[in-house]
A and B are shown apart, each in its own frame.
Chain A
């Protein structure tokens, strides 16, 4: 080997450091800062309902703020805050033992399974899951009747009360609390807890002085992830809570849509975001104060602890050497296991009920008729072939021959590849892979089992279209979010500077702004800028879809950015530098080094944003036109009657989302991630 290696050309970065973040900056300036600024301007105007945008800005004044500073607004805001704080505390109390159990008390295998079980329910339509709670809570329902035979003498009276409000909110947000806390707990080095025990710490003192402080960031993340959306959410609470679920979001919504009073609604929205920020500041202040107090008290506590530990060690030294503790399954373990199971039952109850009621042979989803709408060839809905009412999903007398057929066809599907292999002496990959699923499909077709609502969903053009709309909208928004978030996340992790503080502040604002405010700001903004948001772009891109893509991409792209940034921050930059040193131009280094590094973060972020977009209700409701999405269509149905086919739609959406989730978990596992790492990626930490 000669030393005639050509000196590599050092590629210097051209342009500003934050080049990769430019798209995000433009995007947020255009679709977040500007619309919100317009809303702020509107709040100084007056109502003029003859205009399309019913705002008259000819004589700006503070009148709206004067009106809004009324008793009603503060009363409702106080109520909302009360509900949000209590519900956050409940989520924390209920969720912490679950996170603790998952992080410390189970094997890796069980951790993956349980973690999956905690996450999975959040991927079913939140609205439908919440509505499904009406089933066990209804006064005339089976559960209430069952309770009445044992425990209570009056029918259940939970729907339309504060209890129902808390139940709905805790149910919907507890996942967002458990996940970040789990990640934080899971990151605690086991050696720290062991050291505490070796030093004579009891279980309680280890928990109090090691585990809890180290879990702090996770708790803070969980509180932020639950508290902020709760403040702006006005849908969840009303579905179960009736009049008791009146939140400040409803008040703002009623100004914008009810009385078309945009100026006053804007003033309320501005005040609301101010007050949410204020409550966060109070929260941050409390955390800061608590830490200060701890610092002041630490010397005292430490000296007390040292004395006590010395005494303990001396005491133990007299007896026998400390044995390393073997983790045993004691009372605490079982208590935590039971608690976690209860929480899982809590999470899955509505989904299971949703499945049953998707077969409900009655016009109303929550009111169980006692009959299944299963249809047999030649039969009527809810009746067997011989015309008897069906009391079970399957009647066994009818099922006998069918079961045989079913089992027979599936057995053929299983045996066939082996038979072929035996005859040919060679396995056919195609047959091995497909014969079982094909047999399953054939068995279903041959037996002709179908059910009314499942059939009618494809005839009900509205529902079918809304499901399709949901997927197209979520897909487009996810692509936007992944591109924007990926680029911006890389820039944040690799080229930080003053600009990154601005960007982080912007991202934080996007995450904390109540959705209702974005929704209204965007609705007005799209009308103002017109163009492709007012008429189909080049006659190809439907403008409603473009609106949905943009609207849903805001929150989603912020989430992706944070996930990518967190992922990259944990990886040494030397790889990319090495590529640069070896002569790779920046673009090539990005493609060949950076992109593979962040691929798992992009997939995780993409999936998370996809599900966020599928569930997006408030923004989509305000900005979408004819091609509405599933939650938009469902939210109007909740105001009249919910037919069982909505459950069918929700379950179809759920099934597709789960398939994607399984795909993602598979990809991530192939890239060598453990379940803990997958959870960490999902929460962006």
Chain B
């Protein structure tokens, strides 16, 4: 993994406090100018409540952001008709796929969900280029396979001028070096969240996570619901890259996980946040955004979020990046571009981030956050330090895929008793 072109900054709550006061100063002067810019950026938007900046923040915040926001491309192309998106569950702010898309872009959205990349591929290929979807959101490593099968079409880059807002670090990845087919939607990582009143031994590494799963959290832990992710903790704990294709690595993984861990797993759950709030698990392997949601859900359900500890996977962990793509045969290609381009404007990108809690890959995202969403909670679970990012490994879809799913099925068979 290469070092980031532009260093990331960790956004601790203390940072926010500083910028808050700075923001208060800005508010005095620039409010009027900021509003004017916003108004021009949003076209003829006469409903004050519907301007993008009004979503998670107060409109006056735009005033302070005028300097910063003017450094971004803010092109909004109007479009029309219906737009069908096929994406992961609960992965966009409802307003962005609802009323706001209609008032800003003039498109009506229709959204379907899939639980795994394989589902997406199966559905796209079983309709042979006539799935009816305009936008899909595959994870990076699956893109070459989808291009090979002819499931994706090339972007018309003229319609995506806002792509310059994306941090170059998140562009030009191995799976699509020229960003001809895909652009970063969000990225995230994997770790664990546990109840420290039930699990007394702190968990700091994947080995400790697996030990706890088989120990204090036996019968009370959930792991992610996908073959490669279930096998990965073993590889990360043992210094093996999780994209390994070596037979002996895979065999050892099977032996360890089926033999020592499987029978202790209560559920395979990729979105454990609600179940954590229900009190179903004491320990969960989770993606950072969902683990962050868990804190809010637990509080919602009357629990004490302070009892719960989040940890980013260590010594190594994953980095996944979901991307916006346009499938072959999309009925509304132009609308799809308009929408994706709109999502690459800073206000909308941050509004969306505010909803689901995943890093959107915007450049200078820390500054954007302090301007547009200073009240963001648990920012440490969205933004990671350079050191943390260095430990994150990109996944791959390779010859080990079938074997990983075979191991996963064996683990599930064992877990079922």
Contact = CB atoms under 8 A, between A and B. Distances in A.
Interface-centre pick from A144, A364, A366, A643 (highest chain B CB count, 10 A): A364
A534 B98 CA distance: 29
B132 A626 contact: yes
Given A72-B413, A626-B112, A460 B98 contact: yes
Interface string A130-147: 000010001111001000
Given A242-B266, A640-B115, A640-B271, A79 B417 contact: yes
A487 B49 CA distance: 59
B405 A259 contact: yes
B78 interface: no
B410 A72 contact: yes
Contacts of B279: 138-141, 144, 155
Contacts of B413: 72, 75-76, 79, 246, 251
Nearest to A371: B300
Contacts of A139: 278-280
A200 interface: no
A389 to B, nearest CB: 13
A523 B127 CA distance: 9
A138 B302 CA distance: 13
B111 A243 contact: no
Contacts of B89: 636-637, 639-641
B365 interface: no
Interface in A604-644: 622-623, 625-628, 632-633, 636-637, 639-643
B1 to A, nearest CB: 27
B278 A159 contact: yes
Interface residues of A, number: 76
Given A370-B302, A623-B126, A636-B113, A641 B416 contact: no
Nearest to B270: A639
Interface in B174-229: 222, 225, 227
Interface in A450-467: 456, 459-462, 465-466
A49 B145 contact: yes
A261 interface: yes
A160 B402 contact: no
Contacts of B150: 52
B50 to A, nearest CB: 13
A259 B111 CA distance: 25
Interface-centre pick from B145, B409, B412 (highest chain A CB count, 10 A): B409
Contacts of A140: 277-279, 301-303
Interface in B131-167: 131-133, 145, 148-150
Contact of A641 (B108, B274, B409): B274
A622 B149 CA distance: 19
Contacts of B90: 637, 640-641, 643
B12 interface: no
Contacts of A590: none
A218 to B, nearest CB: 33
B415 interface: yes
Contact of B416 (A243, A362, A625): A243
B274 A459 contact: no
B396 to A, nearest CB: 14
Given A362-B300, A461-B109, A626 B274 contact: no
Interface-centre pick from A72, A622, A633 (highest chain B CB count, 10 A): A72
Contacts of A627: 132
Contact of A364 (B121, B297, B408): B297
B266 to A, nearest CB: 4
A245 interface: yes
B375 interface: no
A243 B278 contact: no
A158 to B, nearest CB: 10
Nearest to B301: A367
A130 B280 CA distance: 16
A535 to B, nearest CB: 5
A256 interface: yes
B117 to A, nearest CB: 10
A544 B111 contact: no
Given A461-B98, A636-B115, A640-B113, A245 B278 contact: no
Nearest to B86: A626
Interface-centre pick from B88, B150, B268, B274 (highest chain A CB count, 10 A): B274
A244 B416 contact: yes
B278 A244 contact: no
A208 to B, nearest CB: 37
Nearest to B122: A257
Interface string A637-661: 1011111000000000000000000
B227 A367 contact: no
Interface-centre pick from B130, B405, B408 (highest chain A CB count, 10 A): B130
B270 A628 contact: no
Interface-centre pick from B119, B270, B406, B413 (highest chain A CB count, 10 A): B413
Contacts of A260: 118, 121-122
Given A75-B413, A245-B416, A534 B128 contact: yes
Interface in B365-417: 401-402, 405-406, 408-410, 412-413, 415-417
Contacts of A623: 126
Nearest to A624: B123
A246 B416 contact: yes
B348 interface: no
Contacts of A15: none
Contacts of B280: 138-139, 159-160, 242
Interface in B314-350: none
Interface in A23-56: 47, 49-53
Contacts of A369: 300-301
Contacts of A75: 413
A543 B98 CA distance: 26
A526 B131 CA distance: 13
Nearest to A362: B300
A231 to B, nearest CB: 15
Contact of A244 (B116, B125, B417): B417
B329 to A, nearest CB: 9
B273 interface: yes
A540 to B, nearest CB: 15
A296 B112 CA distance: 62
Interface string A68-80: 0000100110010
A459 B99 contact: yes
B257 interface: no
Contact of B149 (A52, A523, A524): A52
B224 to A, nearest CB: 11
The 4 A-B residue pairs with the shortest CB-CB distance, nearest first, are: A640-B89, A242-B267, A626-B132, A139-B279
12 contacts: A242-B269, A258-B116, A258-B118, A259-B402, A459-B99, A460-B98, A524-B126, A625-B127, A625-B132, A626-B132, A626-B133, A636-B89
Given A160-B280, A258-B116, A526-B126, 18 more contacts: A50-B149, A139-B280, A244-B415, A244-B417, A251-B413, A260-B118, A363-B296, A364-B274, A364-B297, A367-B297, A367-B301, A369-B301, A461-B108, A527-B128, A534-B127, A622-B122, A639-B271, A641-B273
Interface of B: 84, 86, 88-90, 94, 97-99, 108-116, 118-119, 121-123, 125-128, 130-133, 145, 148-150, 222, 225, 227, 265-271, 273-275, 277-280, 293, 296-297, 300-303, 401-402, 405-406, 408-410, 412-413, 415-417
